[in-house]
Structure formats: C-alpha cells, structure tokens
Amino acid sequence: MLIGYARTSTLEQEAGLEAQVRDLTALGCTKLYKEQASSVGPRKVLDAAMEFAREGDTLVVTKLDRLARSVTHLGTIIAALEAKGVALRIENLGVDTSTSTGKLMLNVLGGVAQFEREMMLERQREGIARAKGEGAYKGRKPTARAKAAEIKALAAEGLSMAAIAARLGIGKGSVHRALAPQGSTP
C-alpha cells in the first residue's frame, strides 16, 4: 500500500498542502495523512502514518523537507520504518529506500539538505545583525501596547479579557498586561 504524507508549516500554506495531496493522490496513494505543523514541533499525524504502515507498505512524500527536519530526524524516521519493513519514497528526488541505491542517495541528499538549511539560517542571522547595526532592524512592533487605550476603553464597557482579545486580534495575556496596574507583573 502507498501511504501519502503531506505537511505545511502554517495554516496560511493551504495551497501548498492541497498541491501535495493532489500529487500524492496522482501517485496512487490510497491512504493520505496531512497536517499543518511546524517542522520543529510535534507531528502527531506523521506519527500516526508511521504507526499505520505495515510490512511491505511505502510511505510517500513529495519533498524531503516535508518529512524530516534534520539528518538525525530523517535517520530516526528511516530506522522506524525499516524496523517495520516499510519503504520510504521521496518523489521529487526519485528516491525509494526499497533499493540499496535509494538508501544511499537519501543519506547523501539528507546531508546536503541539512547543510543548506544551516547555511540559510547563518545568512539570516548575519543579515539581522547587519540590519541591527545599521539601525534598520527594530523587530516586530508591539501590537498590544499600541492598543492599550482601546483595551482600557473596552474593559470600561464591561467586555471580558477574552472578548477584548478577540475583537482586537491580540492574546488574552496582552490584554491582561495592558490592564495590570503599572509596576505590577501579572
């Protein structure tokens, strides 16, 4: 059985998730698992897909970065699948671990992918440091502080913290901090 796994990092990437599902269906995956979760957080749907897989099955993903966050993580996934007799297929790379060549290629490509990610993060940190040095990088503007007067006005009208947070599109903690007396820590 071909088992498809699709993932995007955020809810805003709905089109990317739909494209993965479309591609996995076209490849013949009869069981599909999809989730919208960060690569660094827990991925319960991936765990469920791996748990469902049986000997002789193949877990299929469209791209390597949809599956693993690092070479170590990839190794853990491969080991768990191999222990169950399940192959892994990464479509855009043409890699299939049911063959020894596929296993070798996956390890090489996993190392390259991790290297690329580390280089991208390093460039990002350097860019932020340079921008901070030039005074161009100030970080995200504090949204709740800018709305403090509005928060207090809504609270005076009798709205709950949850209602204020929902109306202004901020967290309840931000509302609580805006309403807390000066000098106190919530």
For residue range 130-157, list pLDDT tens digits in order: 988 888 877 776 667 778 888 889 999 9
Interstrand relation of 58-61 and 31-36 (parallel, antiparallel or unpaired): unpaired
- Residue 130 CA: distances (Å) to CA of 116, 135, 137, 138: 21, 9, 9, 12
- What percent of the chain has a predicted confidence (pLDDT) above 90? 35
Shortest CA distance to 110 belongs to which of 99, 102, 98?
102
Annotation marks residue 9 as catalytic? yes
- Select which of 9, 70, 98, 160 is catalytic: 9
Rg of the Cα atoms in the chain = 23
Secondary structure element (H or E) that encloses residue 2, with its range: strand 2-8
Between residues 107 and 141, the one the model is more confident about: 107
Band (pLDDT 50/70/90 cuts) for residue 74 is confident
Q: Which CATH superfamily is domain 2-117 in?
A: Resolvase, N-terminal catalytic domain (3.40.50.1390)
* Residues 84, 47 contacting (CB under 8 angstroms): no
Q: What's the mean pLDDT when you consider all of the chain?
A: 87
Residue 19 has pLDDT above 70, yes or no: yes
pLDDT attached to residue 182: 67
* Residues 4, 31 contacting (CB under 8 angstroms): yes
Interstrand relation of 58-61 and 87-90 (parallel, antiparallel or unpaired): parallel
Shortest CA distance to 110 belongs to which of 58, 79, 74?
74
The phi, psi pair for 60, rounded to 5°, reads -115, 130
The phi, psi pair for 88, rounded to 5°, reads -125, 135
pLDDT attached to residue 54: 96
Amino acid letter, residue 115: F
Domain boundaries, the chain: 2-117, 143-179
